[in-house]
Every structure is written in structure tokens, then in C-alpha cells.
Amino acid sequence: MKTAEIERWLEQNTRKCPIGRVTAEMCERLRARPQIKDGTERDRLIRPLVCVDCKWWEYFPESREVRVAA
């Protein structure tokens, strides 16, 4: 796979955020995790602190299907 194709896919399907480049699905999953104050002892994956008040997800295009680069 060529570097240009990979970079184009990343630009089209991910957004930069304080955590790094994430897809809309990854962003949604991170925001769905419980906050540290709401989590229980069994919750191993909590919402990152940068995601608590984040509005970066608003910059993702609506209902865009992510295509896998082949």
C-alpha cells in the first residue's frame, strides 16, 4: 500500500484530537465509557479526562461510512 493512499484514508476517515487520530466510531466508544467518578471497581476502561468535556466529535461528517483502504 502506498503512503499517499494511507495518508488520504487517514485524512478522510479520522480527525485529530488530543488523544491522537481517531475515527468517529473510536470517538463514540471513548465518550460512551463511564467517567472516573461514575465507574465501579470492575470498570477497567474509563473515559479519558480529555473526553469529558470534549466537543471535537462534532467535527466528524454525519453518517459517513468508513471505508477500509485495500
DSSP H helices in the chain: 3-13, 24-32, 49-52
22 is a domain residue: yes
Domain count, the chain: 1
State the pLDDT at residue 69: 53
Write down the pTM of the prediction. 0.68
53 is a domain residue: yes
68 is a domain residue: no
Which residue range is the domain that position 45 belongs to? 3-59
Helix (H, G, I), strand (E, B) or coil at 16: strand
Per-residue cell: 42: 470492575
65 is a domain residue: no
Banded model confidence at residue 5, pLDDT cuts 50, 70, 90: very high
Banded model confidence at residue 66, pLDDT cuts 50, 70, 90: low
11 is a domain residue: yes
54 is a domain residue: yes
55 is a domain residue: yes
14 is a domain residue: yes
Answer positive or negative: Cα dihedral of 8, 58, 38, 50: positive
Better-scored residue on pLDDT, 8 or 41: 8
Banded model confidence at residue 29, pLDDT cuts 50, 70, 90: very high
